[in-house]
Amino acid sequence: MSEIQNHPAKITTLYGVYDADATILGELSYWLGARIGVRHCSLCDITHSLFKQKAAWQDCLKELQEIHGVKFHAYHRNDQPAQVRKVIAGNYPAVVAQDESGQFSLFMTDAEISQCDNSPEQFMAEIIGRIQK
């Protein structure tokens, strides 16, 4: 995978934004669309099983924060912070990094997230590899 941007300052927080809305209608629409094959979100596929968050994803989040000191916050299109929305510019899903100086930058695109093959472990290995550079 290619690195979007070199991060000279230490990354403190990652923001993952799903290609779905955090409303009852949005969640139901995505869930039904994903089941019949008309909706897809590579980040959703990594973090969630059919009905809930994957246990493996929860384990990865714990490792990221406790061992690497990086927080990961997940948002939907309609509830993401303004700074994150600006960086993503409508290209969902994506992951945005915030460094210790407060700067936001694109960290992973949908194509790069997709290369992790729906695996929380592969996704986390990619994240850790990038933050350690």
pLDDT of residue 2: 45
| Exposure letters 14-33 (e unless 16+ CB within 10 A, then b) | bbbbbbbeeeeeeeeebeee
Q: pLDDT (tens digit, 9 = 90+) per residue, 72-115?
A: 999 999 999 999 999 999 999 999 999 999 999 999 999 999 99
Going along the chain from its start, the domains and CATH numbers come out as: 11-131 (3.40.30)
Q: What is the mean pLDDT of the chain?
A: 87
Between residues 21 and 29, which one has the greater pLDDT? Answer: 21
The one-letter amino acid at 131: I
Confidence bin at 26 (pLDDT 50/70/90): low
* CB distance 80 to 17 below 8 Å: yes
Band of residue 49 on the pLDDT scale cut at 50, 70, 90: confident
The confidence score (pLDDT) of residue 122 equals 97
